[in-house]
Amino acid sequence: MSTTAIETSARSKKASIAPRVKWGRIGSYAILLLFAAIYLAPMLMLISTSVKTLPEFMRDATAPPTSINLNNFVDAWNKANFPRYLTNSLIYTGAATFIYILTAVFVAFPIARGYIRGATALLTLFVIALFLPVALIPQFQLMLNLGLYNSPVGYIVLFLVNPIGVVILVNYVKSIPKELDEAAAMDGCGYFRFVTSIVMPLIRPAIATVAVLHAIGIWNELILPTIYLTNKDFYPITRGMIVFQGVYGSNWPTLAAAVLIMTLPMVILFLFLQRYIVSGLTQGAVKG
Amino acid sequence: MTSYLFGHGRSRWLPYLFLLPGVFFYLLISLGPSLATTVFSFTDATGIAGAPVHFVGLDNYKEFLFMGQGSADNYDALWRTLKFCFFVTTIQFSLGLLLAVLLNQRLKGTALFRTLYFMPAILGVVILGLIWTLFLYPLGGPASRLLGVFGLSSEFLGGPPTEAFAWVIVVQIWANVGITMVIFIAGLQTISAELYEAGRIDGAGSWQIFRNVTWPLLTPSVNTNLLLNIIGSLQAWTLFMVLLGYRNGTQVLGYTIFAQGFGQTSGSVTSAFRQGYAAAASIVLFFLVLVIGLTTQTILRRREARIIG
């Protein structure tokens, strides 16, 4: 944006408006920094608590730690059954995202191309679920009667749906020239091979966006494991964390260390994938 | 007819075949159950496998809306859901817009601020719940210290219901304002810099430029954010679960549905697996979302037509 250039040239001509421009800038920074503090404070509190001892925390919860005590992390890792819960979460998230993406591309591609009758109607059908009543109750009855209650497979099946993802993929496929299909079909390339080995690499940015959004949703899900998984061995990290909180609820230093262990991978991943997440949210929002 | 071949000829059924799994899962897991909620709302279904299910007509609705203390609690929850929606939408919308406008200037460090404000959106309710329960620790936690500076005190999440409820609103906004912000930023970036320049050359001040250039041209993001915030906050309830639990005087409709359908106990409130009743509650919430959503959309459409036409 060239507002700065304008401001600079205006300032050189008319010195009188310079102070106002500067005040605007200072005011902007003041507000931004205030919000930065509001966002950093809870996170700093978490980090500070995680390196304190319990007596230190009890004496003064807010004071900065006097020494760095990493025992809490060892404790949390051992007591919270983290390796098991993290493995479960990774399996659920990985398997469901992989299968979902594969099935979703095969839904989105023919819709975008009009290779099937009623393509528009089908897309509308996918979008409509966002506004319909909560599916929780009948879904539970269904899973119960299919024998998929308290089963990892059943739990994964619950995450094979994401209408917004289909919408994002459809929009992206539309930007790929149709001549490509003709050329491939002419050369005798099969449909499955064409979609998996030519279309999918071409729509990789959209796939990345949808996969990241979908995976975050599964990773963070708390309600579905609460409803569907009763066996502790099947718990994902979210449910495991709630159980851990139930047992160590008053031992905040250990609890804070556990929360950090759970948060850190998310934050690191977020810093790398932010672009995809933001584009997914803004696209999904505009179309949804 | 065009000359592409995948939708035609000998193998034109292939796109249909490969489409099936995705559509099947969607119907099975999402659309089917969603529609079947209506059917279940007329039954006395429980969450127990093999238990007999009877058709009970409108009994669930009658009980939900007209019977004794239960329905009084439901009206409370309904009213609270509306309050939650109002406060979350207005505050989140305004703050999101403010932050987006500030970050859309040519200032140093905007990427860093944007990342920071947006990050909680990916953390999920479990982490959010724990981070804020710790921050609002009543015995000398940071929030309680800060209030102490002003001579105030609060028991935060453990305090009176209205106060605890207000803190959930705060956390909900803290966690989601980043999403509203990035949608506004995406909208702001579509506005051509030349329009701002033209405004400045005509001698318009910052406020006039915002009022007459930015605000009208931002209409698509304004509509998106308003609808997303309204619908989202009417349906949101999981933060209540992680921050407060099923506590009298704090429940919203979404939480009532879950508690009735899947059992939640808290103090004097005990609920069984009453899935027929919970389905009826889901339908009530659905109509609430439908009426408010459609009204908002009609108003927004009219406004858009007025601005463009």
User: Do B40 and A142 meet the contact criterion of CB atoms below 8 Å apart?
Assistant: no
B54 within domain boundaries: no
Q: What is the predicted pLDDT for the residue at A182?
A: 84
Output the CA–CA distances (angstroms, integers) from residue A197 to A55, A171, A190, in the order listed: 59, 19, 10
**Structural domain of residue A58, as residue ranges?**
18-71
Binned average pLDDT, 10 residues per bin, chain A of 288 residues: 45 45 84 96 95 92 89 90 92 97 96 91 87 89 91 96 92 89 84 92 92 93 93 94 88 94 86 84 60
Cβ-Cβ contacts under 8 Å, B7 against chain A: 110, 113-116
Q: Do B5 and A185 touch (CB under 8 A)?
A: yes
Q: Are residues A91 and A153 in the same domain?
A: yes
Q: Are residues A43 and A111 in the same domain?
A: no
A139 within domain boundaries: yes
B27 within domain boundaries: no
User: Can you tell me the distance from the alpha carbon of B47 to that of B32, in angstroms, rounded to the nearest whole number?
Assistant: 18
B206 within domain boundaries: yes
Q: Are residues A85 and A66 in the same domain?
A: no
pLDDT in tens, A160-194: 999 989 999 999 999 888 888 888 888 888 889 99
Q: Are residues A126 and A33 in the same domain?
A: no
pLDDT at B9 over 70: no
Q: What is the predicted pLDDT for the residue at B68?
A: 81
Nearest to A39 among B16, B116, B186 (CB): B116
Nearest to A139 among B33, B131, B142 (CB): B33
Q: How many domains does chain A have?
A: 2
Q: Are residues A59 and A140 in the same domain?
A: no
Q: A108 vs chain B: nearest CA distance in angstroms?
A: 8
**Structural domain of residue B197, as residue ranges?**
59-308
Q: A257 vs chain B: nearest CA distance in angstroms?
A: 11
pLDDT at B268 over 50: no
pLDDT at B2 over 70: no
pLDDT at B249 over 80: yes
pLDDT in tens, B132-184: 999 999 988 999 999 999 988 888 999 899 999 999 999 999 999 999 999 99
Segment B28-50 shows an average pLDDT of 90
Q: What is the predicted pLDDT for the residue at A1?
A: 41
Chain A from 127 to 166: CB within 8 A of any B CB: 128-129, 131-142, 144-145, 149, 157-158, 160-161, 163, 166
B133 within domain boundaries: yes
A117 within domain boundaries: yes
Q: Identify the three-state secondary structure at position B77.
A: helix
Q: Are residues A61 and A87 in the same domain?
A: no
Q: Are residues A65 and A127 in the same domain?
A: no
| CATH number for position B85 | 1.10.3720.10
Q: What is the predicted pLDDT for the residue at A9?
A: 46
Tokens of B99: 């932050």
Q: Do A138 and B40 touch (CB under 8 A)?
A: yes
User: Do A93 and A154 meet the contact criterion of CB atoms below 8 Å apart?
Assistant: no
Give the dihedral of Cα atoms A151, A155, A156, A159; nearest 10 deg: 170
pTM: 0.89
Q: What is the predicted pLDDT for the residue at A48?
A: 95
Q: Do B257 and A278 touch (CB under 8 A)?
A: no
Q: What is the predicted pLDDT for the residue at A7?
A: 47
| CATH number for position A185 | 1.10.3720.10
pLDDT at B7 over 90: no
User: Do B228 and B89 meet the contact criterion of CB atoms below 8 Å apart?
Assistant: no
Segment B233-241 shows an average pLDDT of 95
Render B101-151 in DSSP notation, one character per residue: HHHTSS-TTHHHHHHHHHGGGGTHHHHHHHHHHHHT-TTT-HHHHHHHHTT
Q: What is the predicted pLDDT for the residue at B8?
A: 65
Instruction: List the single best residue of B2, B6, B116, B255 to mutate versus A (max A Cβ within 10 A).
Output: B6
ipTM: 0.88
pLDDT at B1 over 60: no
Strands B265-266 and B269-270: antiparallel
The pLDDT > 70 percentage for chain B reads 94
Q: How many domains does chain B have?
A: 1
Q: Are residues A195 and A243 in the same domain?
A: yes
B140 within domain boundaries: yes
Q: Do A263 and B123 touch (CB under 8 A)?
A: yes
Render B175-228 in DSSP notation, one character per residue: HHHHHHHHHHHHHHTTS-HHHHHHHHHTT--HHHHIIIIIHHHTHHHHHHHHHH
pLDDT at B279 over 60: yes
